[in-house]
Amino acid sequence: MTRSQLTPGVVAGRLGAEDYARNFADIAPKLEPHEARVAADRCYFCHDAPCMTACPTSIDIPLFIRQIATGTPEAAARTIFSQNILGGMCARVCPTETLCEEVCVRETAEGKPVEIGRLQRFATDTLMARGDHPFARAAATGKRVAVVGAGPAGLAAAHRLAMKGHAVTIYDARGKAGGLNEYGIASYKAAGGFAAAEVEWLLKIGGIEVRHGQALGRDITLDALVAGHDAVFLGMGLAGVNALRAAGEDCEGVANAVDFIADLRQAADLSKLPVGRDVVVIGGGMTAVDAAVQSKLLGAENVTIVYRRGKSRMSASEHEQDHATQTGVRIIHNAAPVAVHGNGAVREVEFAYTEDTPEGLRLSAETFRLKADQVFKAIGQTLKGAPEGLKTEGGKIAVTGPGRTSVPGVWAGGDCAAGGEDLTVTAVAEGRDAAEDIHASLTA
């Protein structure tokens, strides 16, 4: 029995089976072929392609859209996958509204960009549905590479290294591969078990072995990996969760948002997943939004996101914030938690109003309370137990160039590495680029 199940008001089965099915259905279904051709025809195929510049993986967007427009979506998919092997998932979860679509000329001229994300999904889904793999593995090089973490960065690095002919072993702490894609995003963004299906498809390149239940520092050490392989790539993400540093945060009913999302993603029956009547989510990023929206979709009556700074400072995009409010989630800005109240189990959360000053965040003496029987912390994650000998920066692994760490023969990328944005597409780019640098090093 979980802590939340012991908390009064946090119960399972708030909705009927039809409600769960409707609420957690695919939020943006695949375009039909005719719809895709019409959407592709809106592209100007700009020669300077601002959308391509805005893409962290530098996909040739005008080219793949032209390939869709000419009736060859499989060719479009190969264009995408050559730069982003997780292009199917990125088409679903990438914040295109703040990347490629934001700089689209159609967006500037008309306020309605070309639907780049949906077109990317159309192309990738079309090719993946055929079941074959678009790339062939090169002749074996005899080199062995260890990849720690089967998330976006690790999978991208492993695929590129295997494609180059290296033998890759992925060590992952969890029971299923996929990392954030499998455990950490809203289920309605990747419905139908897509994350697992994408991993299975990716592994068809060959030359990749995945070992589960292998956590760095617990089951394996960096020294052993370095000794037993020609190169090591670290892409294990962030396992630690920041504390609220508010009195009473150890009350029953207070949990980490990432754990709630993971439980939801792995739940075989959503009617068995407990949720509160009054849910408060503390944080301003995508994890906060995903936890809040899914709480509402599970049947919570009142769901509130509270963020310590203003709306413009939230790392969740305005599109995602709007989606949350349209779902019925209330967002309160400029307030920070100071105490969790309750007799063993949470009953209320007390917040102080804040002011963002040049000297930093300032809490006012004025406070307010929100009724809550379930509280989710979504205030950022930290690297848990960086391997000894690795230089760190801002609580993450310090890297230079394409992921080189302070230890020779060891590279890092994704959320565990310093620099860059904590996005799936950025992690893919970092894993891919590190793999290219590893390959150059191994074949020099």
DSSP H helices, 184-285, are: 194-202, 222-228, 257-266
Count the neighbouring beta carbons within 10 Å of the beta carbon of residue 90.
28
The fraction of the chain above a pLDDT of 90, given in percent, is: 90
E strands within 230-359? Answer: 231-234, 240-241, 254-256, 278-282, 302-306, 330-332, 335-341, 348-357
Token pair belonging to 177: 């591969």
Kindly report, residue by residue over 105-154, the tens digit of the pLDDT. 999 999 999 999 999 999 999 999 998 899 999 999 999 999 999 999 99
- Give the distance, in angstroms, between the CA of residue 404 and the centroid of all CA atoms in the same chain: 23
Reported as a single tens digit per residue, the pLDDT across 296-316 is 999 999 999 999 999 999 999
Q: pLDDT band for position 6 (50/70/90)?
A: low
Both structure tokens of 241: 């969760």
The pLDDT > 70 percentage for the chain reads: 99
For the full predicted model, state whether its pTM sits above 0.85: yes
Distance between CA 88 and CA 232 in Å, rounded?
A: 26
pLDDT at 9 over 90: no
For the segment 45-62, the average pLDDT, to the nearest whole number, is 96
Helix (H) / strand (E) element for 424: namely helix 424-442
Distance CA 114, CA 442 (A): 41
> Six-digit token pair at 18?
């039809």
Tokens 């499998």, located at residue:
182
Cα separation, 200 vs 93, whole angstroms: 19
Handedness of CA 204, 206, 212, 218 (dihedral sign): negative
What CA–CA distance (Å, rounded) separates 253 from 218?
Answer: 29
pLDDT for 5 equals: 45
Report the relative pairing of strands 348-357 and 335-341 from DSSP bridges. antiparallel
**pLDDT above 80 for 266:** yes
Tokens at residue 197, please?
A: 């299906």
Other C-beta atoms within 10 Å of 250: how many? 11
- What is the identity of the amino acid at 414? G
3-state secondary structure of 109: helix
- Higher pLDDT, residue 295 or 421: 295
The DSSP bridge pattern shows strands 374-377 and 278-282 to be parallel
Q: What are phi and psi of 156, to 5 degrees?
A: -65, -40
CB 278 within 8 A of CB 302: yes
Per-residue pLDDT of 11-29, as tens digits, reads: 999 999 999 999 999 998 8
* Position 1 pLDDT exceeds 50: no
| Angle at alpha carbon of residue 33, lines to 32 and 34, rounded to 5° | 95
The strand pair at 392-393 and 396-397 is best described as antiparallel
Buried b (16+ CB within 10 A) or exposed e, 330-350: ebebbbbbbbbebeebbbbbb
- Summary mean pLDDT of the chain: 95
So what's the pLDDT on residue 3?
A: 44
Q: Is 411 helix (H, G, I), strand (E, B) or coil?
A: strand
Residue tagged 């995903």 (tokens): 290
Whose structure tokens read 């995945």? 210
Q: What is the pLDDT of residue 4?
A: 42
**Contact assessment for residue 204 and residue 133, using Cβ atoms and an 8 Å cutoff:** yes
Question: Which domains are seen in the chain, by residue range?
Answer: 33-129 (1.10.1060.10), 144-239+383-442 (3.50.50.60), 243-377 (3.50.50.60)
CA 203 – CA 210 distance, rounded (Å): 9
Please state the length of the chain. Answer: 444
Return the sign of the alpha-carbon dihedral for residues 36, 37, 42, 46: positive
